[in-house]
């Protein structure tokens, strides 16, 4: 038996063992979020800048009342591979915010209008203030939240994900969470001041349903219709996409460079393969291994 055959046998035995032992325990009471289709998924994925602009609008008009996004700077909104607002739009937007600066020459802190280089000021001065205003719960910062949330894929999906490049667990989860507010099942006790959410681990969440149909006005197209449906589901998708970009602002550049790199390496490997074949053909008894 050659090593390759042994390898196959081993792999088969391993797969059998894993399949047999998989149902030992099903997912721990968490519901798998439905798969969404994202423009930024897959090897050639890229952000839809109009979707990110809408998502930013949702964040700004709804989420930002409680959730900071402290690692994001205004200037990022104009960068390539993002919402791609114009420089002028970003400048005007930043100026709408008050940013704390100082100390000045007389030693005082002061407030001034924001500049593109500033980062988004948080809604609360500190964690304690945020908790005091939200019934003791801390609304998490949104800078990398799309990468900080996931759910268990389980076997064999976690293996298949390597090949399909599925990396969108976080955004799928956020979309599901935002639209996952439901009546609790009979007998499920939701504590006072808490809410039932189908997708939140343990189902009891401190955040009330954050968004409902028609809450945010979307830009209109030439016929005066909104460019996307003004529904909670659409808001959830758009803000999730925006959060994915905020968490991974160089995603497009990464995938583009990845493709170039792999094409180069493939050609290089091909050349090396034939070089190797040529060199080893001098050696007797080696049918080029």
Partner 1 sequence: MSGHSTYVPKSAVGRWFESRLPVMGLLHSSFVVFPNPRNLNYFWTFGGILSFMLVAQIVTGVVLAMHYTPHADMAFNSVEHIMRDVNYGWLIRYLHANGASMFFIAVYIHIFRGFYYGSYKAPREILWILGVIIFLLMMATAFMGYVLPWGQMSYWGATVITNLFSAIPLVGETVVSYLWGGFSVANPTLNRFFSLHYLLPFMIAGVVVLHIWALHVPGSNNPSGVEKQTEKDTLPFHPYFTVKDGLALVVFIMFFSWFAFYIPNYLGHADNYIMADPSVTPAHIVPEWYFLPYYAILRAVPDKLLGVIAMFSSIAVLAFLPWLDTSRVKSATYRPLYRQFFWVFAIVCVLLGWLGAKPPEGGYVIAARILTAYYFAHFLIILPLLGLFETPRRLPGSIAEAVLGKQGSANAMASGAAAAPNTKG
Interacting residues toward partner 1 by CB under 8 A: 1-4, 6, 9-10, 13-14, 17-18, 21, 24-25, 43, 71, 76, 140, 143-145, 147-150, 161-162, 165, 167, 169-170, 201, 247, 249-250, 253-255, 257-259, 261-262, 265-266, 268-269, 272-273, 275-276, 279-280, 283-287, 289
Q: How far is the CB of 279 from partner 1 (least distance, A)?
A: 5
Q: How far is the CB of 118 from partner 1 (least distance, A)?
A: 14
Q: How far is the CB of 64 from partner 1 (least distance, A)?
A: 19
Kindly tell me which of 103 and 282 has the beta carbon lying closer to partner 1: 282
Kindly tell me which of 166 and 215 has the beta carbon lying closer to partner 1: 166
Cα(26)–Cα(33) distance, integer angstroms = 15
CB 243 within 8 A of CB 171: yes
Kindly tell me which of 110 and 273 has the beta carbon lying closer to partner 1: 273
Q: How far is the CB of 51 from partner 1 (least distance, A)?
A: 21
Q: Nearest 5 degrees, angle CA 246-CA 250-CA 251?
A: 90
CB 145 within 8 A of CB 125: no
CA distances from 289 to 2, 159, 266, 272, 286 (A): 14, 29, 19, 13, 7
The count of other CB atoms within 10 Å of the CB of residue 107 is: 7
Kindly tell me which of 71 and 93 has the beta carbon lying closer to partner 1: 71
Helices 49-61 and 232-247 sit at what angle, rounded to 10 degrees? 100
Q: How far is the CB of 258 from partner 1 (least distance, A)?
A: 3
The full DSSP string for 143-184 is TTHHHH------TTHHHHHHHHT---HHHHHHHHHHT-B-PP
Cα(108)–Cα(281) distance, integer angstroms = 79
Kindly tell me which of 150 and 209 has the beta carbon lying closer to partner 1: 150
Length of the chain: 289
Q: How far is the CB of 123 from partner 1 (least distance, A)?
A: 18
Kindly tell me which of 76 and 234 has the beta carbon lying closer to partner 1: 76
């Amino acid at each position: 038996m050659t090593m390759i055959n042994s390898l196959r046998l081993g792999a088969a035995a391993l797969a059998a063992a894993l399949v047999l032992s998989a149902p030992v325990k099903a997912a721990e009471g968490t519901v798998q979020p439905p798969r969404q289709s994202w423009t930024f998924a897959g090897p050639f994925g890229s952000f839809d800048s109009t979707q990110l602009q809408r998502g930013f609008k949702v964040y700004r008009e709804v989420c930002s009342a409680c959730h900071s996004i402290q690692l994001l700077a205004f200037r990022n909104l104009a960068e390539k591979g993002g919402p791609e607002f114009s420089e002028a739009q970003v400048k005007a937007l930043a100026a709408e915010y008050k940013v704390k600066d100082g100390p000045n020459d007389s030693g005082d802190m002061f407030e001034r209008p924001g500049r593109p280089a500033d980062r988004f000021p948080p809604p609360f001065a500190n964690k304690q203030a945020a908790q005091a205003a939200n019934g003791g719960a801390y609304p998490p910062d949104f800078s990398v939240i799309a990468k900080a949330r996931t759910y268990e894929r389980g076997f064999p999906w976690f293996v298949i994900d390597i090949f399909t490049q599925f990396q969108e667990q976080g955004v799928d989860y956020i979309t599901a969470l935002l639209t996952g507010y439901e009546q609790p099942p009979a007998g499920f006790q939701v504590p006072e001041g808490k809410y039932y959410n189908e997708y939140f681990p343990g189902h009891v969440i401190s955040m009330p349903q954050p968004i409902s149909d028609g809450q945010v006005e979307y830009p209109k197209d030439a016929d005066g219709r909104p460019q996307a449906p003004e529904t909670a589901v659409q808001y959830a998708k758009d803000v999730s996409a925006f959060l994915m970009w905020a968490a991974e602002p160089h995603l497009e550049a990464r995938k583009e460079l990845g493709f170039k790199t792999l094409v180069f390496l493939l050609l290089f490997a091909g050349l090396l393969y034939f070089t190797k074949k040529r060199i080893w053909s001098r050696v007797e008894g080696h049918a080029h291994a």
